[in-house]
Amino acid sequence: MMSVEKSNEFLDEICLLADKAASFGIGLSSSELGLFQSYLEELWEWNSRFNLTGLKTLESMVIDLFLDSLLPSPFLPQKALMLDVGSGAGFPGLPLKIRRPGLQTHLLETSTKKLSFLKQVIRKLGLQGVNVIQGRIEAPELWLHGDGYGVITARALADLNKILLWCSPILLEGGVLVAFLGAEGDKDLEKSKEVMDSHGLRVEKEISYSLPGKKTRRHTFILKKEGIG
């Protein structure tokens, strides 16, 4: 059973999430914050046993995982089929699902322990319209059903060229690819211009930001597939 002191720590960190998200123009409802608190509790417990992430404090999980994942949410559609590639412990897929519940969400992951964690979190949070898929983005023929996805997210996955080559074929025309690129995002994008052009992708939105307590700027790009002209 969780101690009162520990419970208050979780609550404090969720209040921090609400405050920092609001500073980026993302107003989280009380029900959303409740889901994030349950998610944080489960992540903290599992991480102590299985090292799901390299982060060791509640604050770093809230800022580096929850908040960072949420930043593209204002620019995503209310409804679409979304694929989170290499979901790991659910980032950015589950925070985006909490914020955009109309997104039918597929979480793609290879690690058995992380798949078990994802299924547990989905059950605990009572999320609907979330499927966990064991597979690799390099071999979509083994798990892909249907024509493709309207939203694809990739965070801490690989270099941008690989992300584009893997994800573009299963991104629907008119759909968006959300690429979390870190400090060298602008340079990565420039290096990938030829691949983007060959796959009919253009930059719809660039999000350039620094997370609270961090000096390094990050770059997340929303790339729209418009077809090859």
pLDDT (mean) for 128-152: 94
pLDDT given for residue 92 in this prediction: 97
- pLDDT tens across 173-195, in order? 999 999 999 888 889 999 999 99
Q: What's the N-to-C CA distance of the chain in angstroms?
A: 60
- pLDDT score recorded for residue 36: 98
Question: In this predicted model, what pLDDT tens digit does every residue of 7-48 receive, in sequence order?
Answer: 789 999 999 999 999 999 999 999 999 999 999 999 999 999
Q: What is the dihedral of CA 9, 17, 65, 115, to 10 degrees?
A: 70
CA-to-CA distance for 65 and 55, rounded, in angstroms?
9
Give me the half-sphere count of Cα atoms (radius 13 Å) on the Cβ side of residue 215. 0
Distance CA 178, CA 72 (A): 8
Q: What is the pTM of this model?
A: 0.95
Band of residue 119 on the pLDDT scale cut at 50, 70, 90:
very high
pLDDT at 165 over 70: yes
130: domain CATH number is 3.40.50.150
Q: Do residues 180 and 154 lie in contact, with contact meaning Cβ atoms separated by under 8 Å?
A: yes
**Domain total of the chain:** 1
pLDDT band at 229 (very low <50, low <70, confident <90, very high): low
Q: Within 13 Å and on the Cβ side, how many CA atoms surround 142?
A: 9
- Domain span at residue 138 reads 4-225
